[in-house]
Amino acid sequence: MTTELSGRTALVTGGNSGIGRATAVALAALGAKVVLSGRDAARGEQTVRQIEEAGGTAFFVPAELSDQASARALATRAAELAGPVDVLVNSAGVAHVGTVETTTEEDLDRLYAVNVKGVYHCLQAAVAAMKGRGGAILNVASVAAVVGIPDRFAYSMTKGAVLTMTYSVARDYVDQQIRCNCISPARVHTPFVDGFLARSYPGREPEMFEKLSRSQPIGRMGRPDEIAELALFLCSDAAAFITGSNYAIDGGFVTLKM
C-alpha cells in the first residue's frame, strides 16, 4: 500500500491556518490537487503560493461553511478546478472558553454553526460526489470529544458531534467504498494558541505557553505537521482497511493524564 495521492482531488476546509494548512501542504506534496477553503483569503492564497512554489497544485476557494448553499458551491467549484473530490478533510473550526453558566446562547450558536453545521454541510456535499466512486473523509475532532476538559462546554459539545457524525457516515456509506475517520488532537501549537495567550494573558505569554505545554504528558504541544502526517495516512490507500475509527494524537493526554 502507498500514501501516493497523484491524480486525486483533496478538499481541505480551514486550509489557511494551523492543522488544515499543514495538511493541505502535505497532501499536495504527495501529488494531490488541493482545494483549500477558509475565511482569510490572504492566508489562503499564501498557502496556495507555498504549495505551488514546491511544485504542487492548489487552489483557494472562499466559503461560508455554516451556509449549505455556500458549502455545496465549494464542492462544485473544487470539481471544476481540480476534478471530483476524492478526499475531504474537515479541519475548519472555532473555539470557545467557558462553562455552561458562562456560555451564552450566541456563543453556542456560533460554535454550532461552524463546528457542527459546517461539517455536516461538507459531509453531505462530499458524500454526494463520492458515491459510485469511493473516497476518504477525515474529520478533525479533539480530545475534548471524549475527555472532560475545564471551561470547554460548547467546544466539547461540538467536537463530540463531529466524532459521532464520523461513526454515522462510516456506517452508512461503507458499502459505497467511502471511508470516514476522525483524528482527535490535544493542544497543538497553532496561531490560535498564540492569539489566545495574547488576548487572555498579556505580558505572561511565555509563562502560560509553558504551562499549557506541560499539560500534555509528553511535555510539549503538538506541531501541525505532526497532525498532518496522521491525516495523510488516513486519507491514503495505506489506510484502505480503516473506517469508522477515531485516533487520539495527543502526547498521551487521554490515556496517561486520566
Catalytic residues: 155
CA distance 257 to 252: 7
CA distance 80 to 62: 15
Q: How far is CA 177 from CA 89, 146, 170, in A?
A: 17, 27, 9
Q: DSSP string of 89-155?
A: EE-------B-TTT--HHHHHHHIIIIIIHHHHHHHHHHHHHTTT-EEEEEE--GGGTS--TTBHHH
Residue 133 has which C-alpha cell?
466512486
CA distance 98 to 83: 42
Q: What are phi and psi of 168, to 5 degrees?
A: -65, -50
Q: How buried is 118 (Cβ within 10 angstroms: 0-12 exposed, 13-18 middle, 19+ buried)? A: buried
Residue 24 has which C-alpha cell?
493541505
